Structure 1
Amino acid sequence: MVHDSYDTTYFDKKLFIQESERLSESVRINKVGILNSFNFLRMENPSLILDLGCGTGEISLALARFFPNSRVIGLDRENRFITENMRKYSDQKNLTFVQSDCYSLPFESNSIDLCYSRFLFQHLRTPDLAIAEIFRVLKPKGKIGIFDIDKKIDIIYPFPVHSKKFNTAEAFYKKLIRNDLYIGRKLISLLLQSHFNNVAKLDVSIDSLNTNRTDIVRLIESWNYLDFNSHPYVMTKRITSVELKEYFEDLLKVTKQTDSYICFGLVFITGSK
């Protein structure tokens, strides 16, 4: 198994709950972008849908409700998510969950109509191998949909205090754990290299022009569940705990200003086999 940049193995119970709440909040706040991505696929009644890297399962549930005549399988490497999802969503009859790895999917070739993935590919050290495996399991004319970040299209203005130090620390840490902040701009090329057709892009960013500011504030607050003194960004020595605390305090202040502009860059890329 490839060791990618996301692993809950070392999370204690409290941290796992906080991480689950953070992931759920990000889905709730970006529900318009998620719904737009479903519509962008232009699919009617796909027989079998795979939600790859399903995490807390909200996207799997949304897919099952959006496509009520389809069978949806949420798949994740983290067994803790799968166990909890099976309990939470047991009433959704067209939804099941499976623990497995994106590099070795437990499905026959040419068996899946749609593979959807949100916030998985930024964590993958070898995204090309995952895309090749998705290509294998998709039916002819089956579709892939990848929803992920591109930090380069983030905009926060006015700049919060210590922004430069924060960005330096974040980039250093993400590079260290091999988390790709810029995966969004690479996805089109990755799909074309894997012989996908009809590749297209949709902007699904969280944007203060079309997102309630209170929701954006809640999203930012959900990021602050780690102790600043032991925060991984502080461990890089590119920013101090005091500076990190001041950055987040000022980020919240800026976000609450009615004349500020906040955009967290997200893209949705789709293609067909």
Structure 2
Amino acid sequence: MAKIGSYNTKMFDDNTITAEVKRLEQMSEYDKEDIKKFCKEFNFEGIKSLLDIGCGPGFVAAMFSKLNPNGLVIGIDREERFIKIANELAKNQEISNLEFKVSDCYKLPFDDDTFECSFSRYVLEHVSEPIAVINEMKRVTKPEGKIGIFEWDAGLNVYYPEPRFLRKYFDSEMEIKRSTGGDICFGRKAYTALRSCGIKDITVQPVNERVADHNREFFISNHKWFGTRVHPFVQMGLMSQGELDTYYSDLEEIVRSDDSYISYQKLIIVGKVDK
């Protein structure tokens, strides 16, 4: 049986889920230009149907529906509160080609060969059985249809100068993900994972994103999104609160400096379904 995964929405109460939805909205805006690059790889304008797996509150699915108003976009997520927000988003913005369903990514509620494209963004890093999810994406995608993966890889990030306790922070994040079934370095493994599922003609487009080119304050707040709760690294004894405070303090100073360099590595991976 698959583990629940490293992104567990049960930890959000009514107040913190509101903050999380806001964070996810900011993240979708942060990634907007990269999502457009993704659509170019997808040849998205002529696609009639797309499935967005792990769509959250629906912000990226809404982008897809607006970029291709003649195609149907369906988003699925296991979190009912996200799907409720997503449906309200579609209604409020009067988007007619956008639908949302509550569903688990391991057992999609669609017939074989339903969609021309299946897509996931920052999902496979959180699941314990990514191959099973990819095979479900393949099942519901038509022959010669496309599967798209938008992922990042924490092990390819660059920090200079490095904040104190960076390695300990990275190792703690790796351990948290591993214990719940996730993998913060899945990005580098996505190509091989798709190949193992029989996906063909795979292209990989690395996207090196320099933090200074975007909103630095959002980067800091996104890094510290646990808010007033006890950080899980401290809760699990992986870091002390003092070490965590030092890491965050150094990181803020580095991010705000014009002389520093921080970049994140994302990967846009697209392949064709071979059946």
Would you call these one fold, judging by a TM-score over 0.5? yes
Q: What is the deviation of 1:180? A: 0.5
C-alpha offsets along residues 212-251 of structure 1, whole Å, 9 cap, x if unaligned? 3xx1331221332425772101123232112212211211
Q: Evaluate the alpha carbon distance shift between residue 131 and residue 267 of structure 1 in structure 2; reply closer, same or farther with a 3 A threshold.
A: same
Which amino acid is 1:96 matched to?
A: E
Matched, 1:248 2:248: yes
Alpha-carbon separation, structure 2, partners of 1:216 and 1:40 = 28
Matches within 5 A, 1:105-144: 105-144=108-147
Residue pairs, 1:80-229, within 5 angstroms: 80-90=81-91, 91-208=94-211, 211-212=213-214, 215-227=215-227
1:10 aligns with 2:7: no
Per-residue CA distance 1:2-56 (angstroms, 9 max, x = gap): 4222221231111111111222211111211111111111244211111110012
Query: Does the residue aligned with 1:88 lie in a helix, a strand or coil?
Result: helix
- 4+ runs deviating over 3 angstroms: none
8 Å CA contact 2:61, 2:73 repeated in 1: yes
Q: Which residue of 2 aligns with 1:260?
A: 260
What count of residue pairs does the alignment treat as equivalent?
270
User: Which deviations, in whole Å up to 9, do the C-alpha atoms of 1:50-85 show, x marking residues without a partner?
Assistant: 111001211101100111110100111111100111
**Given residue 236 of structure 1, which amino acid in structure 2 is its aligned partner?**
M
Tell me the SS of whatever aligns to 1:122.
coil
Unaligned runs of 5+ in 2: none
Number of the residue aligned with 1:36: 37
Cα deviations by residue, 1:186-207 (Å, 9 ceiling, x for unpaired):
1111111111111010123432
Per the alignment, residue 236 of structure 1 pairs with: 236
Secondary structure class of the residue paired with 1:22: helix
Map of 2:79 onto structure 1: 78
Following the alignment from structure 2 to structure 1, what is the Cα–Cα distance between the partners of residues 185 and 209? 16
**Conserved in 2, the CA contact under 8 Å of 1:110 and 1:136?**
yes
Letter paired with 2:257? Q
Deviation track 1:149-198 (CA, whole Å, cap 9, x = no partner) reads 21111011110122222222222222222220111111111111111111
Q: Secondary structure at the match of 1:123?
A: coil
Counterpart-to-counterpart distance in 1, 2:245 and 2:229? 9
Q: Equivalents in 2 of 1:10, 1:233: separation in Å?
A: 15
Structure 1 26/222 Cα, relative in aligned 2: closer, same or farther at 3 Å? same
Corresponding residue SS for 1:40: helix
Cα distance change of structure 1 residues 80 and 229 upon mapping to structure 2, 3 Å threshold: closer
Does the 8 A contact of 2:211 with 2:219 survive in 1? no
Secondary structure, counterpart of 1:26 in structure 2: helix
Is residue 228–residue 245 contact of structure 1 (8 Å, CA) maintained in 2?
no
Where do 5+ consecutive residues of structure 1 fail to align?
A: none
Tell me, what secondary structure is at the counterpart of 2:125? Answer: helix
Counterpart contact for 1:229–1:241, Cα < 8 Å? no
Q: Kindly tell me: are residues 208 and 224 of structure 1, through their superposed partners in 2, closer, same or farther at Cα, counting changes over 3 Å? A: closer
Scaled by the length of structure 2, the TM-score of the pair is: 0.93
Q: Give the fraction of aligned pairs with identical amino acids, expressed as a percent.
A: 31
Report the TM-score when normalising by structure 1: 0.93
